[in-house]
Chain A
Amino acid sequence: AQSVAQPEDQVNVAEGNPLTVKCTYSVSGNPYLFWYVQYPNRGLQFLLKYITGDNLVKGSYGFEAEFNKSQTSFHLKKPSALVSDSALYFCAVRAFDNYGQNFVFGPGTRLSVLP
């Protein structure tokens, strides 16, 4: 069965510093990996995805993620954090299971960027 882990409940970073939000996954077959961001009382916004190709994926709002097959990781990064990046971040994997196609989400990491 597919699963996603985000080992940190909370990440704090100072504005202007680089940020990393960690994600590891477990899938059978090729991994289709995604990052989403959620602001309070809002839906999820797609940031980026890895399907195949270059291990460094660039996405929206200056975010990027690095796929590492040997470590089964897909960490989200940004070179310089903004206060407005403070939100809840979910890593997800595309699953093909009893429900057909589905997205399995990690537990989420709350990012706080301090001014």
Chain B
Amino acid sequence: DTEVTQTPKHLVMGMTNKKSLKCEQHMGHRAMYWYKQKAKKPPELMFVYSYEKLSINESVPSRFSPECPNSSLLNLHLHALQPEDSALYLCASSQELVSEAFFGQGTRLTVV
């Protein structure tokens, strides 16, 4: 099983809403990532969990809050987002060091 599952696939939320994105993998990978991708642009790293320890991209606003309940699950909590936060949010996982990352299908987020 080389699958990373993200839910929901699409999400529309108002600027005052609170929502969460979910990501799950059962490949035993110990590194998990959140990326944000704007149209026709490369993915930009938001957060990395390595052995359930968080590394933060300090440019990410605090309205994005990650959570790693266990080694298979990764959440991204969203609160008070702005329209410019609308993007494709990608979750990925990998083994340590030299291995490739496997990506989920993404959540298409629209903030209205």
Q: Among the listed A34, A99, A108, which residue makes an inter-chain contact with B100, where contact means beta carbons less than 8 Å apart?
A: A34
Taking a contact as CB atoms under 8 Å apart, the answer to whether A100 and B48 are in contact is: yes
- Chain B's closest residue to A34 (CB) is B100
With A98-B55, A99-B55, A102-B48 as known contacts, state yes or no: A44 contacts B43, CB within 8 Å: yes
- Chain A's closest residue to B56 (CB) is A99
The size bracket of the interface on A is 20 to 34
Taking a contact as CB atoms under 8 Å apart, the answer to whether A46 and B100 are in contact is: yes
Taking a contact as CB atoms under 8 Å apart, the answer to whether A106 and B42 are in contact is: yes
By secondary structure, the B interface counts as strand
Tell me how many residues of B have a C-beta within 8 Å of chain A.
30
Across-interface contacts of B42 in A (CB, < 8 A): 90, 105-108
Q: Using CB atoms and an 8 Å cutoff, list the residues of chain B in contact with chain A.
A: 4, 6, 31, 33, 40-43, 45, 48, 50, 53, 55-57, 88, 90, 92, 94, 96-98, 100-106, 108
Interchain residue pairs A-B with the least CB separation, the first 3: A105-B42, A43-B103, A99-B55
